[in-house]
């Protein structure tokens, strides 16, 4: 059953509906051509709980080779390994030190995405880690339990470094979350799931390039979860907590279960919601995270799937783009993300149930905002015609050419320019809108709440404490600035990493 299912998924992925019904033999041969593996057990990153390690951990940023497909080695990057990194668990109230040694031979940085820490230890492009050196930030953890992640944020090359493997999960835990009896046995009933799409040729990871690709952001034909192709997770027959991290460069996932079962969304980027929200599908943009509870007590195998992502620049939707690009983005049916196989024996816990209520949060009070700023996330700056003609912009060698294709409020990112100055402790309303396509806006060093979207009440998915939000129609965000940025600046940027690298980023400091 599961096997057939996997084959159907591969077949749909490879050929669309055309070959449907032509039988397993065909699917099998295509599968062979692609060197696609048998379903593989989901990799669970090692867990490093910093409390058990004297409040310190070491990350070595290194090169390696990874066999995503059997017998096919890809050159990749990772933290303490060849692809991705260990899960770091920190406790609210603690001060932790992470020693990051750069063994890449290239510059890198490590940004703690979603962690509220002073700008000089945030790991943005200014906290460069030169080859052969070690960066030792001390991170004061003072925020509610949440699923965060860490990743490269090196100027101009974030997209390539993250694509090639530089990302990992960062969990904040606190006493409050333990009150709710949520599944919390790491790797058993509490699973970190880094979702990524990547492009493979003959089973080897390749980095797509070219103007159209970079405008839409790099996409891939293969889903990875924690770096595993075609993954199966064995889970106990009970309620299981899934912590989704969208670690793709550009892909928006629209997640659902193939059998249509409902699940409960319990935490946004900033931590637990007030009430669990019953959903049948959940969309997740790059940089966003979500925690959900899923009931596997019926023991039935089921696949998590994602709908096609139609988010691409308006121009490309109009002219169509290269055929294979369109096929990859638009014509595919639902694509398998991860298969779940409930087992009798894996459970160590007694029955858990979905809590009625979770945390209490103050309602967003927009009357506290002392000013409003507007941010237009721009594409096609420097002249669309110049870009189309292949001069500057996102063409190779275009970086730093002064012909940036992306920006905010008409300006491309400049390392030497502070775009905004805010007062520490203030609330402000940041109103953001996205041009040509939806852009996931991430603001460093803050939590915010969505006040409105497109002039109307925010959607169900907009609720909760956030640090990343998908923007197209104008959204109003109530932002509080609690972290100092006097010795360094905080970034705000599109989390389609190719847009970020090509100028859709700004920086702010605090007084
Ligand atoms: Cu963008």
Give one DSSP letter per residue of 61-89, joined into a string. EEEEEEEEETTEEEEEEEESSSSB-PEEE
Least Cα distance to 105 among 59, 65, 60 occurs for 60
What's the gap in Å between 463 CA and the centre of ligand 1? 22
Tokens 């189309």 correspond to 388
Domain termination site, one of 174, 195, 229: 174
Domain termination site, one of 140, 174, 208: 174
Number of H helices, E strands in the chain: 8, 34
Which residues have C-beta within 8 Å of that of residue 24, sequence separation ≥ 6?
A: 4, 7
511 half-sphere exposure, CB direction, 13 A CA radius: 6
Are 325 and 384 within one domain? no
| Phi and psi at residue 315, to the nearest 5° | -60, -40
Are 381 and 288 within one domain? no
Q: Which domain holds residue 295?
A: 182-343
What's the gap in Å between 337 CA and the centre of ligand 1? 24
Are 135 and 193 within one domain? no
Are 64 and 126 within one domain? yes
What's the gap in Å between 506 CA and the centre of ligand 1? 13
Q: For residues 157, 163, 166 and 170, what is the CA-based torsion angle, rounded to 10 degrees?
A: 120
Positive or negative, the CA dihedral 408, 414, 419, 423 is: positive
Are 405 and 449 within one domain? yes
Is 219 within 8 Å of 329 (Cβ atoms)? yes
Domain termination site, one of 343, 376, 394: 343
| Phi and psi at residue 223, to the nearest 5° | -90, 135
What's the gap in Å between 380 CA and the centre of ligand 1? 11
List CB-based neighbours of ion ligand 1 within 5 Å. 439, 494, 496, 499
pLDDT tens for the 511 residues of the chain, in order: 333 333 333 333 333 332 233 333 333 333 334 445 689 999 999 999 999 999 999 999 999 999 999 999 999 999 999 999 999 999 999 999 999 999 999 999 999 999 999 999 999 999 999 999 999 999 999 999 999 999 999 999 999 999 999 999 999 999 999 999 999 999 999 999 999 999 999 999 999 998 888 899 999 999 999 999 999 999 999 999 999 999 999 999 999 999 999 999 999 999 999 999 999 999 999 999 999 999 999 999 999 999 999 898 876 655 544 444 544 444 457 999 999 999 976 445 556 799 999 999 888 899 999 999 999 999 976 545 444 444 444 433 344 444 458 999 999 999 999 999 999 999 999 999 999 999 999 999 999 999 999 999 999 999 999 999 999 999 999 999 999 999 999 999 999 999 999 999 999 999 9
Please give the C-alpha separations between residue 358 and each of 61, 83, 182, 264, 296, in angstroms, as whole numbers.
Answer: 37, 35, 10, 12, 21
Specify the CATH number for the domain of residue 483: 2.60.40.420
Tell me how many domains the chain contains: 3
**277, part of any domain:** yes
Strand-pairing partners, residue 508, are 420, 490
What's the gap in Å between 490 CA and the centre of ligand 1? 18
Are 310 and 409 within one domain? no
What's the gap in Å between 442 CA and the centre of ligand 1? 10
């Amino acid at each position: 059953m599961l096997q057939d299912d996997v084959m159907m998924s591969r077949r749909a992925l490879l050929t669309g509906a055309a070959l449907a019904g032509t039988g397993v033999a065909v699917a099998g041969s295509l599968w062979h051509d692609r060197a696609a593996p048998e379903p593989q057990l989901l990799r669970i990153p090692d867990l490093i709980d910093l409390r058990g390690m004297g409040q310190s951990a070491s990350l070595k940023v290194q090169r390696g080779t990874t066999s995503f497909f059997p017998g096919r080695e890809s050159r990749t990057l990772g933290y303490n390994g060849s692809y991705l990194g260990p899960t770091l668990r920190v406790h609210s109230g603690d001060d932790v030190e992470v020693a990051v040694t750069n063994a890449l031979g290239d510059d890198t940085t490590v940004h703690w995405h979603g962690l509220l820490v002073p700008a000089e230890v945030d790991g943005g492009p200014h906290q460069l880690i030169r080859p052969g050196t070690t960066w030792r930030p001390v991170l004061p953890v003072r925020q509610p339990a949440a699923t965060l992640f860490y990743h490269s944020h090196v100027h101009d090359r974030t997209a390539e470094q993250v694509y090639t493997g530089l990302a990992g999960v960062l969990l904040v835990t606190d006493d409050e979350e333990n009150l709710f009896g949520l599944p919390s046995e790491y790797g058993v009933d509490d699973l970190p799931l880094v979702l990524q799409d990547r492009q493979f040729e003959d089973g080897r990871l390749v980095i797509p390039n070219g103007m159209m690709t970079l405008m839409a952001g790099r996409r891939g034909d293969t889903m990875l979860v924690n770096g595993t192709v075609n993954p199966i997770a064995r889970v106990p027959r009970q309620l299981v907590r899934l912590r989704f991290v969208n670690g793709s460069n550009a892909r928006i996932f629209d997640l659902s279960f193939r059998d249509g079962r409902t699940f409960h969304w319990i935490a946004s980027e900033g931590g637990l919601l007030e009430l669990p929200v019953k959903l049948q599908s959940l969309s997740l943009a790059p940089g966003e995270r979500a925690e959900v509870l899923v009931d596997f007590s019926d023991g039935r195998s089921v696949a998590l799937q994602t709908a096609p992502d139609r988010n691409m620049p308006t121009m490309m939707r109009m002219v169509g783009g290269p055929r294979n690009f369109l096929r990859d983005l638009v014509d595919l049916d639902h694509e398998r993300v991860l298969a779940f196989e409930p087992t009798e024996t894996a459970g160590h816990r007694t029955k858990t149930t979905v809590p009625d209520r979770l945390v209490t949060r103050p309602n967003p009070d927009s009357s506290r905002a002392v000013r409003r700023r507007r941010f237009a996330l721009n594409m096609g700056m420097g002249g669309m015609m110049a870009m189309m003609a292949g001069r500057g912009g996102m063409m190779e060698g275009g970086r730093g050419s002064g012909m940036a294709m992306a920006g905010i409020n008409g300006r491309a990112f400049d390392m030497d320019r502070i775009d905004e100055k805010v007062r520490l402790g203030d609330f402000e309303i940041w109103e953001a809108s996205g041009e040509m396509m939806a852009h996931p806006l991430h603001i460093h060093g803050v939590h915010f709440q969505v006040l409105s979207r497109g002039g109307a009440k925010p959607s169900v998915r907009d609720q909760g404490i956030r640090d990343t939000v998908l923007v197209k129609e104008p959204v109003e965000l109530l932002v509080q600035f609690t972290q100092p940025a006097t010795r360094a600046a905080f970034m705000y940027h599109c989390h389609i990493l190719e847009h970020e690298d090509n100028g859709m980023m700004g920086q702010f400091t605090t007084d």
